[in-house]
A and B are shown apart, each in its own frame.
Chain A
Amino acid sequence: MRGYVLRRLLTVIPTVLIVSVVVFLIVHLTPGDPAAMMLGDDATVEDIARLHARLGLDDPLIVQYFRWAGNVLRGDLGYSTAVTGQSVWDMISTHFLPTILLAVYSQLITILLALPLGMLAAKRRGSLTDSALSVFSMLGISLPSFMLGMGLVLLLAVQFRLLPATGYKNPFTDGWPAFFRYMSLPAVSLGFIHSAYMMRMTKASMLEVLSSDYIKMARSKGTPERAILMKHAFRNTLLTVITVIGQGFISALAGAAVVERLFGIPGMGMLMVDSIDKRDYQVIQGITLMIALLNVLINLMIDLIYGLADPRIRLK
């Protein structure tokens, strides 16, 4: 196991390196002078040159990269160019909670919806239920989150006035009931696409497991079908499901921008979109890097869980 962990940890290094280079380059290869852009139209040449020197923009790109990477390692993501004196880290941490809560909530909905339906589709393969569920999942995959979100708002908020159309409540200060009232529509819109995908994957992996020899063995021993499904097959499907949950969590974090804008939730996505308008590249860089690193971390954890659960993977 230790060898497996070490090997897997080593593969993280090049990925993190490339992610950081890509994120760094996105901002640094932009057309236009960042210093001139920060100072606006009436800046003099001297002003721009001074800012250049202060930001170290005259150094070779590789020097700039290492300086930036060194700062990031020390937890310094730089300073916002739009809001004076605000560090990017502070800005991200004040917008972090809504996005994380939204992502977790949407994943919970996804799991509760997709797992039972996926298993049902596998159990009743070829039946009318199965076809209905495949059509449903195809529709779900093709439904952009903002489209579903708008539909839900039109129906449940505008037409029937059951739930608020926009806004955010902090569960720790405003209480959980308020949180659920405000966040249910956003979470459903964000999680639905993924639940369609998770349903497909659950069904496929369940079918694969169900056709294996040990299930046949269990059947021939006379194990009740229910026990086969829940005890024997489900456990082996779980690995696939965990992967899909990990992917879903990341895509929820990334996709949150759209849903946050639609529902007016002050999360990281909202911060990122605001930063586009203000040309606040440092913030965009910081958020992109954070989510990418979180993604690498989650994938690493999934692989380690895999290794823990399945000796075949560990020894390969």
Chain B
Amino acid sequence: MQTGIMDKGELQKIRRSLTREQRRVSARKFLRSRLSLAGLVIVLLMLLLALFAPVITSALGVDPYKATVKDRFLAPSLQHLFGTDNLGRDIFARVIYGARISMTVGFSVGLVSAVIGTTLGLYATTSRFLDNLLMRLCDGLKAIPNILLAIALMAVLGANMRNVIVSLTIVSIPGVARIARSNALLIRESTYVEAMRCLGAGKHRILWRHIAPNILSPILVQMTFAFASAIISEASLSFLGAGIPQPEPSWGGMLNEARSYLFKGWWMALFPALFTGISVLGFNLFGDGLRDLLDPAAGGRAVIK
């Protein structure tokens, strides 16, 4: 565009500072909402716990795997912050290491399903046949309730961490694909995409360089929710004995062990349950805040649905 007054460099500088200002305003808006802020804090805290689990536990001199027979069923104390379990293992150390498992599963599922789902959703918009095929496939997958599909997949794949990630990714792909598709369909009709097409840009170039960046916000929001539901699903699977096998300290697995000792050591159940609930809450609040910020229209749409 020709302004006549400013040269190109100056214009760019103004544009950049405008973007920066916009970002600052958005960030302030996010932080002002107390609930989103609480979500962000919880998310960061969980990620830090997961990242520094070995450092924290070794600083406190506890070990998530070491069983000490004489220390069975110790109530929470200064030495064992969250008490010990039926094998005399320190529950605090196990809960912190459990955060590692939950965060790894949540993050992998969120990321992989976002990548695959977005790709599927984008390419669905390129042909009517593909679109029909994909949508019917999603309908079919959606007809099987998530947790049930995950249980069935785990039953045949075998219980380990990789398979938990694989099953939960399969379960959450349809949701992402749907969102990617519907948003891509909207953007495909916009004038600038039409302009690119007229200029002779190829199919893939339009999809990846012009449509994909513009559907990133709803995908990102969906990713946080996929993260949250992966945490719940992993815990449920491990609780059922179909998730992360013992002696790995996953929260669901710890709850499963605690089931038999509710009368003997309530702390065995309380702390893993508390951490599961708080981290899911954190990711949900964070996702809600992110949605209000990035994709205000979707918030309204999702509610009215």
Contact = CB atoms under 8 A, between A and B. Distances in A.
Contact of B241 (A153, A208, A277, A287): A277
Interface in B227-242: 228, 232, 235-236, 239-242
B280 A250 contact: no
A22 B140 contact: yes
A288 B149 contact: yes
Interface in B256-286: 258-259, 262-263, 266, 269-270, 273, 276-277, 280-281, 284-285
Contact of A261 (B137, B153, B239): B239
Contact of A250 (B145, B252, B284): B145
Given A142-B277, A261-B239, A273-B241, A255 B140 contact: no
Given A204-B303, A276-B154, A288 B284 contact: no
Nearest to A142: B281
B251 to A, nearest CB: 9
Contacts of B240: 257-258, 261, 273, 276
A296 B143 contact: yes
Interface residues of B, number: 47
Contact of A146 (B143, B239, B280): B239
Contact of A150 (B145, B241, B273): B273
Given A144-B280, A154-B266, A262 B141 contact: no
A292 B145 CA distance: 7
A281 interface: yes
Contacts of B147: 254-255, 257-258
Interface stretch (A12-20, A39-47, A169-177, A226-234): A12-20
Interface string A1-35: 00000000000001101110111001100110000
Nearest to B150: A254
A139 B281 contact: yes
Most B CB within 10 A of own CB, among A21, A143, A165, A281: A143
A239 B281 CA distance: 29
A124 B137 CA distance: 42
A22 B280 contact: no
Contact of A22 (B144, B145, B241, B269): B144
Nearest to B263: A158
A147 B273 contact: yes
Contacts of A291: 144-145, 148
Contacts of B145: 250-251, 253-255, 291-292, 295
B146 A254 contact: yes
A68 to B, nearest CB: 15
- Which of A142, A165, A253, A254 has the most chain B CB within a 10 Å cutoff? A142
A47 to B, nearest CB: 22
Contact of B155 (A19, A23, A281, A299): A281
A150 B304 contact: no
A151 interface: yes
Interface in A64-78: none
A150 B236 CA distance: 13
A272 interface: yes
Contacts of A147: 255, 273, 276-277
A279 B154 CA distance: 11
Contacts of B137: 18
A102 B202 CA distance: 55
Contact of B144 (A17, A146, A200, A288): A288
A204 B300 CA distance: 9
A254 B148 contact: yes
Interface residues of A, number: 55
Contacts of B151: 257, 272-273, 276, 284
Interface string A94-133: 0000000000000000000000000000000000000000
Contacts of A295: 143-145
Contacts of A17: 140
Contacts of B35: 138
A26 B153 contact: yes
B152 interface: yes
Nearest to A26: B152
A248 to B, nearest CB: 11
B44 interface: no
B157 interface: yes
A158 B262 contact: yes
Given A151-B273, A276-B151, A277-B241, A208 B304 contact: yes
A139 B152 CA distance: 29
Contacts of B266: 154, 158
A302 interface: no
A205 B302 CA distance: 11
A153 B155 CA distance: 28
18 contacts: A14-B140, A17-B140, A18-B139, A21-B140, A138-B284, A142-B228, A143-B280, A146-B255, A151-B273, A254-B146, A257-B147, A257-B240, A262-B259, A273-B240, A276-B155, A276-B242, A284-B156, A288-B152
Interface of A: 14-15, 17-19, 21-23, 26-27, 30-31, 138-139, 141-144, 146-147, 150-151, 153-154, 158, 165, 200, 204-205, 208, 250-251, 253-255, 257-258, 261-262, 272-273, 275-277, 279, 281, 284-285, 287-288, 291-292, 295-296, 299
Q: Which 10 A-B pairs have the closest CB atoms?
A: A18-B140, A254-B145, A142-B281, A30-B156, A204-B303, A147-B273, A142-B280, A276-B155, A254-B148, A292-B144
